[in-house]
Structure 1
Amino acid sequence: MNQTNWTWHYLMRSLILAGFAALLSYLIWTEKLGHYLAPKLHALSYVTLGILVILTIVSVRHVFTGNRAYECDCEEAHQLPRTRWGSLVIYSLFLLPILMGFFMPDKILGSAVAENRGVTLLGSDARKLAAVATETGQPEAASQPAGEQGGQAAPPQQANAQGMAETTTGEAQTNESQTAQQPAPPKATEQAASAEATAADTAPNAASQPSGANPSMSEDELKRYFSGGGFGDFYTDIAAAMYKQPVISLHDKIFLDGLTTLELYAKDFAGKQLETLGFVYREPGLGDKQFVVARFSVTCCTADASVFGILVESEDASKWAKDSWVKVRGKLELRQVDGYDMLVLKGAKIEPVKAPKDPYVYYSYEAADIQS
């Protein structure tokens, strides 16, 4: 290969290496690297940038030093492209992503991707949304948490269970009345009196023990209470810190761990006020007064992104456009869907906000700052 062709090839390689280095520098400088990579990989990007700069310098040096013949016993396994079309195709494969990176606008993930990957709602998935929409479509049911809707007819399984319970109770009362007509043996009477006295003594102690979490508890008391769930110190600490807040702030640093905590202690957090932000996502099965305030979670890069969120119910839910970013504040209500507990946020206040600089959220796996 003559000197002119050699110089041209290494000039193209130098431009490609310099292009990748410039693109990576641009993403780092404009703080847009988070649109593609999780923060834990940013350090590797800095190392990659340093390597690209070194390779660019070496390639530029070859442009000025020219071709040097040497034997490497590789049987021409890494020779330069010999034809013009071959060179064009090979170098275009490297130039294309550089041009796309500079001239195509950055776009964060939204509803289009969420529809393909599904949404996780406090431990549930998008298949549950239709069931929730069906339940909350009734005016009375939509305004009351599960377990407080006394006026509703029970589902068939629950009705059967209630019927069996009533039958069993009736039989038990009949047996008790028959037994009461027979005189009790003296020893049995003494044992019954002793049991009643023991129950009377233990009743005050049982009444003095807290039956649930209370905002007036100290943080240590809340930690002891939540530790009874057996979910580990990490979620116990988060639950205690969140419960002490008058309005739970589900911000970026605690979003995923906070959702997990709400799932683990759903009954305890029912009735609490919560504030969070995310983009509006709508599943086809949802009603006009419902949407999901969602966030994308990224483990390594956006290729493995997953969608997490909270189902929001509001009278003016339909006015918020899909993929618009909103801040929602409201009350958490507990619903029963397919035999499991699910928290729904009754949106009392919804306002538009700008998308955060880093729109994605991440698991912390360590003690997080609940207040920030």
Structure 2
Amino acid sequence: MHRTMARHYWIRAGILFALSWYIVHLVKTGNLYLYIVPRMMPYVKCGALALFVLAGFYAFLAIQRSDDSPSEPDCECGHETPASVSGNVWLYGLFAIPLVLGFVLPDRLMGSEVVAVKGMNLKAAAASQGQIIRTPEPVDDQPTGQPVKPEPSESFEPSEQPVQPEMSDTPETTPEQPVKQSAEQPIDELDKLFPEDEYGMDYAKLGKRLYPYDTIHVHTVGYLEMLTMLDLYQANFKGKQIVISGFVYREDDMEQDEFVVSRMAMQCCSADATPYGFLVRWDKGASLKKDTWISMTGTLSTTVYRGNKIIRLEANKIKIIPAPKDPYVYPYYDDFDQISAE
């Protein structure tokens, strides 16, 4: 019995040590970022150390059980190993097979193959559905001087027409008694272009700050937030230049000159990675192969794709680039004021 348990302890020690070594291998090769977000790396590295210590503990138990001398009785806690060989192979195979695959298979960037399974997200603001108000569309038969009441909507798309300001609660005045606007609350035209609620406040502030720019650079830092803001306020940024990089992805129903410039976004690890991007139209688009990394400048416009109004970039300049060392983008948890557009 003791020799049997010693074999199990040696197997467990070997698996734990191999798991620890695999994490060290990913760290040394610089490929750990392919599987987890940077903020999780310190915890995973500490986990590798814990696995190594636990492997040593099982090795110690195996040595203790290897001799023929009687030792302390089993605890009889009901966690005995399977009696059959097939049961043991199944049990340890659950851990050993993924580990072997990790060592044997190459570490690869996620690209078009993963996107084809998960589906491309061309509306970054979809996560805000039902939370942000819609800018009212002009209504021809609306009485003069009356505010246009926003209609409930699943997404927020600013109107391309000037928005009538809402009526003030201030009592009506005559020319002899003009209303004086408080210096602390000036009437801001940007507030009309970027309406907000408690959920979209940060995106509205970001939009107001970037609205004066003729060219907006979408960087890795704040990538998701920038795409969401541009998607929420599409009409306000029509005609502006967008500089962005990513890999090429193409759906079968897209035109020959269309493709998506996309990035994979990770919340925690590669299992939750989600592709985001913009549709691009370029007269030489058909020459770009899937998973080709590009840096591009395009004019922001809109189109309808699969029943959704989305952003489309009319490409002005495209350059093929190597894939960046860290190709993924991550949620931004700091102040949006730190997101740069230059």
The normalised TM-score by structure 2 is 0.72
Kindly report which structure 2 residues correspond to 1:1-372, keeping only aligned pairs within 5 A, or say none.
1-3=1-3, 5-66=4-65, 68-74=71-77, 77-123=78-124, 228-230=195-197, 232-335=200-303, 341-368=309-336, 369-371=338-340
CA pair 267-57 structure 1, distance change in 2 beyond 3 A: same
Q: CA deviation at 1:6?
A: 3.7
Contact 2:261 2:277 in 1 (8 A): yes
Give the AA of the match of 2:75.
C
User: How many aligned positions are there?
Assistant: 283
Contact 1:226 1:236 in 2 (8 A): no
CA pair 6-252 structure 1, distance change in 2 beyond 3 A: same
Contact 2:293 2:320 in 1 (8 A): yes
Aligned to 2:148: none
| Distance of 2:63 and 2:73 partners within structure 1 | 18
CA pair 357-228 structure 1, distance change in 2 beyond 3 A: same
Alignment deviations for residues 145-198 of structure 1 (CA, whole Å, 9 cap, x no partner): xxxxxxxxxxxxxxxxxxx99xxxxxxxxxxxxxxxxxxxxxxxxxxxxxxxx8
CA pair 24-338 structure 1, distance change in 2 beyond 3 A: closer
Contact 2:125 2:232 in 1 (8 A): no
| Distance of 1:57 and 1:320 partners within structure 2 | 52
Q: CA deviation at 1:274?
A: 0.9
RMSD of equivalent CA atoms: 3.3
Q: Secondary structure at the match of 1:288?
A: coil
Structure 1 residue runs without a partner (length 5+): 126-163, 166-197, 202-208, 213-221
In terms of mean alpha carbon deviation, does 238-247 or 296-305 score higher?
A: 238-247
CA pair 87-273 structure 1, distance change in 2 beyond 3 A: same
| Distance of 2:14 and 2:307 partners within structure 1 | 61
Contact 2:250 2:290 in 1 (8 A): yes
CA pair 55-227 structure 1, distance change in 2 beyond 3 A: same
Contact 2:2 2:65 in 1 (8 A): no
Contact 1:241 1:370 in 2 (8 A): no
Instruction: Give the share of equivalent positions with the same residue, in percent.
Output: 30
| Distance of 2:2 and 2:309 partners within structure 1 | 75
Q: Secondary structure at the match of 1:294?
A: strand
Contact 1:81 1:87 in 2 (8 A): yes
| Distance of 1:340 and 1:285 partners within structure 2 | 14
| Distance of 1:72 and 1:2 partners within structure 2 | 13
Give the AA of the match of 1:72.
C
CA pair 54-361 structure 1, distance change in 2 beyond 3 A: same
Alignment deviations for residues 11-32 of structure 1 (CA, whole Å, 9 cap, x no partner): 2221111001111222233332
CA pair 18-337 structure 1, distance change in 2 beyond 3 A: closer
Q: CA deviation at 1:324?
A: 1.3
| Distance of 1:42 and 1:285 partners within structure 2 | 39
Aligned to 1:215: none
| Distance of 1:364 and 1:260 partners within structure 2 | 12
Q: Secondary structure at the match of 1:66?
A: helix
| Distance of 2:270 and 2:101 partners within structure 1 | 17
Contact 2:257 2:281 in 1 (8 A): yes
| Distance of 1:120 and 1:62 partners within structure 2 | 51
Q: CA deviation at 1:227?
A: 5.2
Q: Secondary structure at the match of 1:267?
A: helix
Larger Rg: 1
Contact 1:270 1:343 in 2 (8 A): no
In terms of mean alpha carbon deviation, does 39-48 or 265-274 score higher?
A: 39-48
| Distance of 1:236 and 1:339 partners within structure 2 | 25
Aligned to 1:129: none
More helix as a share of residues: 1
Give the AA of the match of 2:287.
K
Q: CA deviation at 1:52?
A: 0.8
| Distance of 1:370 and 1:245 partners within structure 2 | 14
Q: Secondary structure at the match of 1:346?
A: strand
The normalised TM-score by structure 1 is 0.66
| Distance of 1:56 and 1:241 partners within structure 2 | 54
| Distance of 1:88 and 1:71 partners within structure 2 | 23
Q: CA deviation at 1:237?
A: 3.4
Aligned to 1:187: none
Contact 2:124 2:224 in 1 (8 A): no
Q: CA deviation at 1:258?
A: 0.5
